[in-house]
């Protein structure tokens, strides 16, 4: 009995495979490999990788950066995830924080290091660890990423993503606690 069922399933699968090959001969497919970060969350539910209500508190442009960064990691575009999305999202949030704390400051063309320095100059004790973490990301990831010879592997991209998620969670938490968001 079992062999009859197995043969029937095999025949059905063989027909499905025949049709699938015929219908998709002009299409490319991409298979997503398993990663440390859940691929479904990276592609479809990026907000679940941040602390509760953090993603929805972010400006649209930063939500977009993190959504695209998640997809880049899922599809193993590691360097793109670092350069164009995740780091840009953190830098945008840093600018927003500085603008909220010092409304007169024009942050539109400020680079990461200048923003962090200006935030440190405000001498806000609650920001010390957060800004130290931002400097760590800048020194070890962001600045080297600007050089064309820097290429990320998928493991390093995931490490960077997780570091950035932690910083974003802390920054949004600070901004909410101080009614800046």
Query: What does the longest C-alpha to C-alpha distance in the chain come to?
Result: 79
Mean pLDDT, residues 5-11 taken together: 87
- pTM value is 0.81
| pLDDT, tens digit, 9 for 90 and up, residues 132-144 | 999 999 998 888 7
State the chain's mean pLDDT as an integer. Answer: 90
Whole-number pLDDT of residue 170: 97
| Statement: residue 6 has pLDDT above 90 | no
- Taking CA atoms, 168 is separated from 34, 109, 113, in Å, by 25, 20, 17
- Taking CA atoms, 38 is separated from 85, 88, 126, in Å, by 18, 22, 32
Query: Using N-to-C axis directions, what is the helix angle for 60-74 and 154-177, rounded to 10°?
Result: 160
Structure tokens belonging to residue 19: 């049709």
pLDDT bin (cut points 50, 70, 90) of residue 3 is: confident
- Contact of 130 with 171, CB cutoff 8 Å: yes
Instruction: Quickly list H helices, 78-153.
Output: 78-80, 87-101, 112-121, 128-137, 143-145
% pLDDT > 90, the chain: 64
| Statement: residue 84 has pLDDT above 80 | no
């Amino acid at each position: 009995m079992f062999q009859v069922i197995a043969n029937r399933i095999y025949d059905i699968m063989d027909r499905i495979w025949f049709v699938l090959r015929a219908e998709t001969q002009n299409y490319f497919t991409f298979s997503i490999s398993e990663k440390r970060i859940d691929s479904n969350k990276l592609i479809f539910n990026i907000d679940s990788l941040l602390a509760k209500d953090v993603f929805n508190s972010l400006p649209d442009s930063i939500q977009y950066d993190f959504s695209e960064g998640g997809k880049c990691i899922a599809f193993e575009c590691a360097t793109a995830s670092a350069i164009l999305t995740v780091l840009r999202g953190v830098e945008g949030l840093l600018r927003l924080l500085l603008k909220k704390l010092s409304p007169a400051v024009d942050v539109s063309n400020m680079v990461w290091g200048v923003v962090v320095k200006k935030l440190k100059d405000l001498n806000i004790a609650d920001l010390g660890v957060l800004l130290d973490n931002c400097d760590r990301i800048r020194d070890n990831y962001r600045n080297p990423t600007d050089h064309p010879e820097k290429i990320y592997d998928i493991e390093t991209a995931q490490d960077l993503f997780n570091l950035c998620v932690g910083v974003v969670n802390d920054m949004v938490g600070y901004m909410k606690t101080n009614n800046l968001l």
